[in-house]
Amino acid sequence: MVVGGTALMTKGSDRSAADDPALSQSAPQFAGAPPPAAFNLTHYAIGCTAAATPDRIALEVAATPDGDIAERLTFRELERSALKIGAALLSLGLEPGDRLLIKLPNTSTYALTFFGAIAVGLIPIPASDQLTASEVTFLLDDSGARAIVGAATEAASVTTDHDILHVTADDLATAAAKAAPASYAATTANTPAYLIYTSGTTSKPKGVLHAHRAAWGRRPMYHGWYGLEPDDRVLHAGAFNWTYTLGTGLTDPWANGATALVYTGPKEPDVWPRLLNRLSATLFAAVPGLYRQMIKYAPNAVADLETLRHGLMAGEAPPPDLIPSWSQLTGRPIYEALGMSEISTYISTGPKTASRTACAGRPQPGRSVAILSADAESDTPLQRGEEGLLAVHRSDPGLMLGYWQRPDEEAQVFRGDWFVGGDLARMDHDGYVTHCGRANDVIKALGYRISPLEVEAALLGHPAIAEVACAELHVRDGVTILGAFYVCRPDAAQPTPSELDRFAETCLATYKRPRHWQAIDTLPRTANGKLQRARLKLVAAPGLQG
C-alpha cells in the first residue's frame, strides 16, 4: 500500500489506484524533483530570495504583546547578517564540519546563528535554553562539538571531555560587526547541515543528522500543507530548538519570499490572537495545546481574527473536538500535519486536502508512504485498512542522513528501502492516514516528546529512590502530563513532592520534569520482569488516570 504524493495535487478525494498510478505500488520512490547536486541550505532558504527580491521584508521581531516591532530585516539585510555571523564563527577558529551547540533565548540571534553556521559549512546543534548543565554536557560530549554559543554562565557550569570554545551572544555580535560577509560554503545536497537531538527509546537523547537537502525535502509542504504564498506573513509560536519552528517558521517562508514573524515577549494564551491581528499574520503555526488554550482563555479575541487565513498544527495528535471548535469559533480552518525529527512533516491536510475526522491527512505531494507490518520484519506494504508501522521511502530528500554515532539504532529503523519511525497507523482507500499511537514508549506531555527512559535515568540519582517509572497521564481532554511513580529505598525517608521537584530542577529541563509524583510499593511488571508502563495509569491518584 504505497501512496506517491502526486495524487494530492488533485482536488478530488475519491481517486483509486486504477485512476492514478501514484496510488499504487508502481511509484514507490519520491516523485518530486531531486535537489541539485551542489546545494547550500542557507543559500536556498535566504540567498536565492535575497538575490531576486532584496528589499522584501524577511523578518519582523515583536517584543511586546501589542506587537511593537523591535527589529525588521529585509532579505538583503538578513543574508548579510547571517553571512557576517558565519564569518565571525570561522574567525573564532571553527572550521567547516565542526559542530557547535546553540543555547540561546528565542531571539533573532538564535536564528541568524543557525543559518549563518550552515552557510559556511558548520553544523549547528539547536538546543533549548532550558537545558541543565548536565544535559548540555551530554550533548557536547556526544556530538563532539567544538563550541557552544550561549550565556556566559555556561563556561563555569559545563565540564566536558574535550576543549570547548564558549561564545556569548555579545562575543558573536562583536566579532560579526568586524567581519566581512562570508562566502557560501561549496556544500552538496548530502553534506551534513545540522544535528538535532531528540528523545528516543534509549535513556539519552540521540542526534538526528540532516543534510543540506533537508530544506529541499520540505518543498512538498508548501502546497501540501501550508498553501504558502510570497505575500504571506507567518507567525510560529514555538522555540527555535525545534525543527517545527526552524522549518515552518523560518526556512519555508523565506524560501518562498514570505515574511517570518517572531515574538519574544511573555507567552500567555490571550497574547496570540492580539499578535495575529497586530502583525497582520496570515498563517499561524502552533501545537494543539496552544490552540486549545486560546479557545478556552481568549474566545472573544479568537473569534475576531482579521487577517489569518488558516492555522497550522503539528507536534502531537489533537483531541477530536479541537479542529471543529476552532473552525466554528473563527470561521477558519486548521490544517494538521504528522511528522518526526527524522523527516519533519510528511502527512497533512491543507487547502487542497480536506480534513477528515480522526485522520492526520494524506501524504504530501511527491512523498512515497507505506504501512508495513508491526510484527514481521517484512518490507512489503500491507493492504489498505490494515494497521501497521508508518514508513517513508528512503529516496525522500527530507529524510535524515542517519543517527549520530548510533549505527545499531539506525539499522533498526530501515527495512529495505523504507524508513520506519515507530508510528502505528492505517491508510484508507483515499490515502488518508489515521495515527494509532507509538510502537515504543515515547511520551507526549504538554506538547513535548519525552523519553521516559531518559527521565527515569536522571531521577534514579535521587538517594531515596530505588526504582522509578514514568507514564503519560491524561488530566483532562487534550491535556497530558508526565507522572513519575517511584519505590523508596527501605532505609530512606519518604521525599516530599517539593523535594523531588527541586531535585528534578538540577538534572532535567523544565519540560522533562514530572508534574505528578506518586510513591508506590512495587512497579507493575510482567512475569519476565518487563515494566508494564500502561498499568501505571491504573494506580495513579484519582483524577489522573485519564
Give the model's pLDDT for residue 14.
Answer: 33
Which is nearest to 497 in space by CA: 509, 478, 484, 510? 484
User: In angstroms, how far apart are the furthest CA atoms of the chain?
Assistant: 71
**Contacts of 407 by beta carbon, 8 Å cutoff, 6+ apart:** none
Per-residue HEC secondary structure of 461-529 comes to: CCCCEEEEEEEEEEEECCEEEEEEEEEECCCCCCCCHHHHHHHHHHHCCHHHCCCEEEECCCCCECCCC
| Interhelix angle 169-178/75-91, nearest 10 degrees | 100
Task: Give the position of cell 517539593.
Answer: 498
Please tell me the distance from the alpha carbon of residue 221 to that of residue 253, in angstroms, as a whole number: 11
**Contacts of 427 by beta carbon, 8 Å cutoff, 6+ apart:** 1, 3, 369, 371, 384, 385, 433, 434
Tell me if 395 sits within 8 A of 417, measured CB to CB.
Answer: yes
Please tell me the distance from the alpha carbon of residue 49 to that of residue 28, in angstroms, as a whole number: 33
Please tell me the distance from the alpha carbon of residue 305 to that of residue 276, in angstroms, as a whole number: 7
Q: What are phi and psi of 240, to 5 degrees?
A: -75, -10
| Strand duo 402-403 + 388-393: pairing | unpaired
Tell me if 361 sits within 8 A of 353, measured CB to CB.
Answer: yes
Please tell me the distance from the alpha carbon of residue 208 to that of residue 345, in angstroms, as a whole number: 15
Which is nearest to 393 in space by CA: 363, 373, 432, 423? 363
Task: Give the position of cell 480522526.
Answer: 358
Give the model's pLDDT for residue 89.
Answer: 98
Which is nearest to 276 in space by CA: 232, 230, 223, 318? 232
Length of the chain: 546
SS3 category, 330: helix
Tell me if 149 sits within 8 A of 167, measured CB to CB.
Answer: yes
Q: What are phi and psi of 347, to 5 degrees?
A: -130, 135
| Strand duo 147-149 + 123-126: pairing | unpaired
Please tell me the distance from the alpha carbon of residue 101 to that of residue 196, in angstroms, as a whole number: 10
SS3 category, 544: coil
Please tell me the distance from the alpha carbon of residue 314 to that of residue 36, in angstroms, as a whole number: 29
**Contacts of 356 by beta carbon, 8 Å cutoff, 6+ apart:** 349, 432
Give the CA distances from residue 183 to residues 47, 48, 169, in Å, rounded to whole numbers and listed in that order: 11, 14, 22
H-run or E-run covering 348 = strand 344-348
Q: What is the pLDDT along the chain (546 residues), one digit of tens a residue?
A: 333 332 222 223 333 333 333 343 334 899 999 999 999 999 999 999 999 999 999 999 999 999 999 999 999 999 999 999 999 999 999 999 999 999 999 999 999 999 999 999 999 999 999 999 999 999 999 999 999 999 888 777 887 888 999 999 999 999 999 999 999 999 999 999 999 998 655 568 899 999 999 999 999 999 999 999 999 999 999 999 889 999 999 999 999 999 999 999 998 889 999 999 999 999 999 998 899 889 989 999 999 999 999 999 998 788 888 999 999 999 999 999 999 999 999 999 999 999 998 899 999 999 999 999 988 889 999 999 999 999 999 999 999 999 999 999 899 999 999 999 888 899 999 999 998 877 767 777 777 778 787 899 899 999 999 999 999 898 877 788 999 999 999 999 999 999 999 999 999 999 999 999 999 999 987 655 667 887 888 887 765 644
Task: Enter the pTM of the model.
Answer: 0.84
Give the model's pLDDT for residue 542.
Answer: 62
Q: What is the DSSP string of 207-246?
A: EEEEEGGGTGGGHHHIIIII---TT-EEEE-S-TTSHHII
Tell me if 87 sits within 8 A of 123, measured CB to CB.
Answer: no
Per-residue HEC secondary structure of 33-86 comes to: CCCCCECCHHHHHHHHHHHHCCCCEEEEEECCCCCCEEEEEEHHHHHHHHHHHH
Please tell me the distance from the alpha carbon of residue 432 to that of residue 364, in angstroms, as a whole number: 11
| Strand duo 206-211 + 402-403: pairing | antiparallel
- Amino acid symbol at 329: L
Cell of 272: 496570540
| Strand duo 414-415 + 418-427: pairing | antiparallel
H-run or E-run covering 334 = strand 334-340
Give the model's pLDDT for residue 11.
Answer: 25
| Interhelix angle 108-119/75-91, nearest 10 degrees | 70
Which is nearest to 350 in space by CA: 252, 266, 205? 252
